[in-house]
Amino acid sequence: MSTVKSKNSLNPTLVVDRALEIVDAEGLDGLTVRKVADAFGVTPMALYWHFANKEALLAAVGDAVVSSLRVPDEGLPLEHYLREAMTSLVDVMRAHPSACPLVAQQIMQAEVGRDLTERFLDKLAIAGFDVERSSAVAHYAMQIAMTLVSREPGAELAFKPEDREAVLERKRASLASLPEDRYPRLRAAADAMIECPNTDEYYADGIAIFVAGVMADARALAQA
Amino acid sequence: MSTVKSKNSLNPTLVVDRALEIVDAEGLDGLTVRKVADAFGVTPMALYWHFANKEALLAAVGDAVVSSLRVPDEGLPLEHYLREAMTSLVDVMRAHPSACPLVAQQIMQAEVGRDLTERFLDKLAIAGFDVERSSAVAHYAMQIAMTLVSREPGAELAFKPEDREAVLERKRASLASLPEDRYPRLRAAADAMIECPNTDEYYADGIAIFVAGVMADARALAQA
DNA sequence: ACCTGAACACCGTTCAAGT
DNA sequence: ACCTGAACACCGTTCAAGT
């Protein structure tokens, strides 16, 4: 967070990088035009020369994160292509969990996002999905990837590191206070539901369930 | 939006109802302590007698929506129980799409949410899912139901009804400008990806895919 | 017990002005 | 071309005071 100040010190790329740092450190709601300006030792209004408004800045942050997405190999069959695409999306988002909603919002504005989706829609069509169904499945895939990352158990407590343990403890106590005879499963699951015990497994399983569901649909269409 | 004003006109139930109306009409970001106060012809600070802060008010709104959830019949087998539970969740949320995140946040604070989850975890355990996996699946189900509703194609444009058509048209134009030879599937899918052509089908398919994925897991566990 | 009034530290953004 | 300064219409919230 060093304060850089010189003539023409502000350009969109630098601003977006700084903004992403702030989002990572303080969450999406923690990003403020004034904070970005301060980080550059500049007046808030200086940013309005480079971006039309805050919305445009957020979109640019989304674009920046999306750009590191990779398109799975064209030759892969539907099942593996879908798994690879979702894994790639999840990986990109896990690098900047707070920016997830921006990624979901901007993915179609990026060439890599369009290419990935076009190929996916094509494979779905070949597997027998009609246009409406393919569109829905592509939409589910994107949104589920985002949800997995941005709502990973315990992720909502990523900020205010002092409070984090306190909030965790409060949730734990709340579940522990439930009557054992009525909520035995909930009590046993408490720890796992509050904080993800194995994040890699959490993502792999989430993706696997969705992929299996889509493939069940594909099989049903194949024999119809 | 009539202005009610009398001695002791403010009580938590009335305030929550009003707040939910505002959320429905203007979205979650449109809900403001000051707006709620205005609706009652009262000073913003009056609300702080009944709620600790805005967060507590939002939680109460979430509780109110959750309360209309119903627990599926205990006797149902896993597959049907899961489908019923997600359908019930989706129905409750579709009544107040902007309040979805509050529902997801508060569901475990409500008896009906805990009962629904306890039974689901029990059925998963009987089907062979270990604690960690059951917890993850319960979490996926909740979050996916929420995502289906709050990110239904076109839902993000639910407010500012004047701008709505303009934004839709801008998105449509953006996809229509893509080269036909390179993005044929994307162009064909444009309408369906921008605005949901059949919402009931969209939800039924989304739920069906997740249920099928979980059942594939269950079968794999059964024969292991 | 329940609400008001004034104040504080924040927001995004406009518009005119400086260099 | 790029940035500043002052101002506006908002936020959530504290704290002391009224009834």
Residues A125 and A74 in one domain: yes
Tokens of A61: 């942050």
Q: Is the CB of A34 under 7 A from strand C?
A: yes
In a domain, A5, yes or no: no
Looking at CA atoms only, how far is residue A157 from chain B in angstroms?
A: 12
Residues A202 and A114 in one domain: yes
For A134-166, the pLDDT digits (tens) are 999 999 999 999 999 999 998 887 786 667 888
Q: Which of B125, B133, B174 sits opposite A185 (nearest CB)?
A: B125
Residues B207 and B128 in one domain: yes
Q: Which nucleotide is nearest to B7 (CA to C1')?
A: C2
User: Would you state the pLDDT for residue B2?
Assistant: 39
Residues B122 and B79 in one domain: yes
Residues B219 and B128 in one domain: yes
Q: How far apart are CA B110 and CA B46, in angstroms?
A: 27
Residues A93 and A107 in one domain: yes
Q: How far apart are CA A201 and CA B133, in angstroms?
A: 9
Residue A6 has pLDDT above 50, yes or no: no
**pTM assigned to the model:** 0.94
In a domain, B173, yes or no: yes
In a domain, B6, yes or no: no
Residues of B (77-136) whose Cβ lies below 8 Å from A: 104, 108-109, 114, 117-118, 121-122, 125, 131-136
In a domain, B56, yes or no: yes
Q: How far apart are CA A20 and CA B124, in angstroms?
A: 40
Residue A218 has pLDDT above 60, yes or no: yes
User: Would you state the pLDDT for residue A7?
Assistant: 58
Q: Is the CB of B45 under 7 A from strand C?
A: yes
How much is the average pLDDT of A110-122?
Answer: 98
Tokens of B220: 């794999």
Identify the CATH number of the domain in which residue B55 sits: 1.10.10.60
User: Would you state the pLDDT for residue B162?
Assistant: 66
Alpha carbon B221 to its chain centroid, in Å, reads: 31
Residues B76 and B133 in one domain: yes
- All residues of chain B having their beta carbon less than 8 Å from the beta carbon of residue A181 are none
User: Would you state the pLDDT for residue B3?
Assistant: 45
Alpha helices in chain A (DSSP H): 12-26, 33-39, 47-50, 54-66, 78-94, 100-106, 111-126, 131-150, 161-176, 184-194, 199-222
Residues A41 and A74 in one domain: no
In a domain, A1, yes or no: no
Q: Give whole-number Cα distances, A118 to A84, B100, B208, in Å.
A: 15, 30, 24
Q: Which domain holds residue A174?
A: 161-194
In a domain, A6, yes or no: no
pLDDT beneath 50, residues of chain B: 1-6
Residues A132 and A214 in one domain: yes
Tokens of A207: 């993706």
For A43-83, the pLDDT digits (tens) are 999 999 999 999 999 999 999 999 999 999 999 999 999 99
Looking at CA atoms only, how far is residue B122 from chain A in angstroms?
A: 6
How much is the average pLDDT of A94-104?
Answer: 98
User: Would you state the pLDDT for residue A167?
Assistant: 85
User: Would you state the pLDDT for residue B38?
Assistant: 97
> What's the domain count of chain A?
3
In a domain, B21, yes or no: yes
Cβ(A84)–Cβ(A76) under 8 Å? yes
Residues A100 and A141 in one domain: yes
Q: How far apart are CA A135 and CA A5, in angstroms?
A: 47
Alpha carbon B4 to its chain centroid, in Å, reads: 30
User: Would you state the pLDDT for residue B159?
Assistant: 80
In a domain, A4, yes or no: no
Alpha helices in chain B (DSSP H): 12-26, 33-39, 47-50, 54-66, 78-94, 100-106, 111-126, 131-150, 161-176, 184-194, 199-222
Q: How many CB atoms lie within 10 A of CB A107?
A: 23
CA B63, B64, B65, B71 torsion: positive or negative?
positive
Residues B208 and B97 in one domain: yes
Residues B211 and B111 in one domain: yes
